[in-house]
Structure 1
Amino acid sequence: MSKSLNPEIIETATNHFCDLFQLSSCMERYKVEAMGVTRLQGYAIMQLFHEETLSLQELATNVRLASSTMSRVMDKLVERELVERDFDVNDRRRMIFQLSEDGQLLAETIHCCYEELYEMLMVEIPVDEQEKFLYNLGKILDKMRETFEEHICPCKGIAGNLKNTLKN
């Protein structure tokens, strides 16, 4: 621990971050599962909402899952006709996924729920403090990505993809 940081501040920050991660996970699960998909399926749907088409490996990397796990998630989404699977026109060995019409509608609904949720939270921060809050939140996320890439997963190089995942 850095000598310049107050231990009480570190303890409070630790507790707040733990609560934030736990509550956001619960809120997300509640919102997404209320729409009839699992949280992992919701992550995959939102990745395709933002990227339009992705390969299985790209999806697995972005969502930070093993390819075998992502394959099962995608099989269920294809089976429910929320996602379409096809061969890449440039590389027939590569499968790509995109949202079906129903999947697109569901993704838009999920996206609106996230926007409503975060608007409800941001309204609690005074308008003149919102930019500073977002700036500091961005600094924290950048440090988390850097730490993830350097110390937790240095060989996989997925922290760059994490940036897009965490932004959305």
Structure 2
Amino acid sequence: MTNTNNSQQLRELVKTLVRNLGVLEKSEASCCGITLGQCHAIVEIGSRKTISLNELAELLNLDNSTMSRTVNNLVNQNLVEREIDPSDRRYVKIKLTKEGEASFHSIEESMTQYFETVLASIADDKRDQVIESLQLLVKAIKNNKCC
């Protein structure tokens, strides 16, 4: 197969993967009463316990204004709270509330169960290969930003 054919095949596979995971994530997020963006924000905040708005925006590859609107909505839903750093009043830390923690754990449990099922459907001798290949793909994508 030529490089062009390989790159087209990779593009189609990644497109299909993104679409399939997007459908999964949207259905999971909507059952929690939050948007997909809010779901991603809750997962990242919950994983780190506290994070700045800038760090969160960078992690989710969003601009600060979009991230700020997302966080405002989460604050209004009592899922996250802002805490001003006493040593630098310009630095605002974001952390989950009790309700946010519950949402985070619910999302994590659902995703863990789903991906355990997915992994179980892959032959035992191919699982490590799939994980390694995805790690290589993610690294290559990060190192070669598009557009």
TM-score, normalising length: structure 2:
0.91
> Does residue 110 in structure 1 map to residue 107 in structure 2?
yes
The one of 53, 56, 60 aligned to 2:57: 60
Show the 5 A alignment for 1:118-133.
Answer: 118-133=115-130
**Residues 14-69 of structure 1: CA distance to partner in whole angstroms, max 9, x if unpaired?**
32221111111111111111111101111111110111111111111111112111
Residue matched to 1:29: 26
| Separation (CA, whole Å) in 1 of partners of 2:4 and 2:54 | 43
TM-score, normalising length: structure 1:
0.80
Identity between Structure 1 and Structure 2 (%): 24
Residue matched to 1:73: 70
Show the 5 A alignment for 1:1-168.
Answer: 5=3, 7=5, 9-148=6-145, 152=147
**Residues 118-162 of structure 1: CA distance to partner in whole angstroms, max 9, x if unpaired?**
1121111111211111111111111111112xx54xxxxxxxxxx
Report the AA paired with residue 93 of structure 1: R
| Separation (CA, whole Å) in 1 of partners of 2:7 and 2:92 | 46
SS in 1 for 2:144: helix
SS in 2 for 1:84: strand
SS in 2 for 1:36: coil
How many corresponding residue pairs? 147
Q: CA deviation at 1:4?
A: 5.4
Please list every run of 5 or more consecutive structure 1 residues that lacks an aligned counterpart in the other structure. Answer: 153-168
How much is the aligned-residue C-alpha RMSD, in angstroms? 1.7
Range that drifts further, 85-94 or 18-27: 85-94
Please list every run of 5 or more consecutive structure 2 residues that lacks an aligned counterpart in the other structure. Answer: none
